[in-house]
Amino acid sequence: MKKIKEEMLEKKLWAVVGVTGNKDKYGYKIWKKLIQHNYETYGVNPNYDEIEGEKIYHFLKELPKKVDVIDMVVPPKIGTHTLDEAKEAGVEYIWFQPGTFNDEIVNKAKNMGFKILYDDCILATLVKLEKK
């Protein structure tokens, strides 16, 4: 998984599925941290049209560009549907945040051919990089 993590960190087009305007939630913190680290990052959440002046997309298929990595910040039940959208969109990498996966969704992602990472947090990873 270390190799896949390194590959993901090199990719510069990301989508955060489950972005939120609530600054206390990981969906917000992850989205902001990716932007701060110069990743071109799109927020996806059907409950928002905009957060802090940035357009938020309701579905992956609405994104203006094909993203390389999807960061999942939604429960597995929602994430399962997102995998189908991601496949249609030609996404290669899925990063499951802690609490967003179970055996069923991990197996589905593997069977669909995604390169996946779970049991790791992009927010913690980027904070560590700041301290180097």
Average confidence (pLDDT) over 84-89: 96
Q: Are 16 and 73 in contact (CB under 8 A)?
A: yes
Instruction: Please classify residue 113 by burial: count the beta carbons closer than 10 Å to its beta carbon, then call 0-12 exposed, 13-18 middle and 19+ buried.
Output: exposed
What are the residue ranges spanned by the domains of the chain? Answer: 2-131
Q: Check whether 132 has a pLDDT greater than 90.
A: no
Res 119 pLDDT > 90: no
Distance of CA 71 to the CA centre of its chain: 1
CATH code that applies to domain 2-131 = 3.40.50.720
pLDDT at 70 > cutoff 90: yes
Q: Which of 1-5, 19-23, 66-70, 122-126 has the least mean pLDDT?
A: 1-5
Q: How do residues 18-53 score in pLDDT, each as one tens digit? A: 999 999 999 999 999 999 999 999 999 999 999 999
What's the pLDDT band for 1 if we cut at 50, 70, 90? confident
Phi, psi of 85 (to 5 degrees): -65, -40
3-state secondary structure the chain: CHHHHHHHHHCCEEEEECCCCCCCCHHHHHHHHHHHCCCEEEEECCCCCEECCEEEECCHHHCCCCCCEEEECCCHHHHHHHHHHHHHHCCCEEEECCCCCCHHHHHHHHHCCCEEECCCCHHHHHHHHHHC
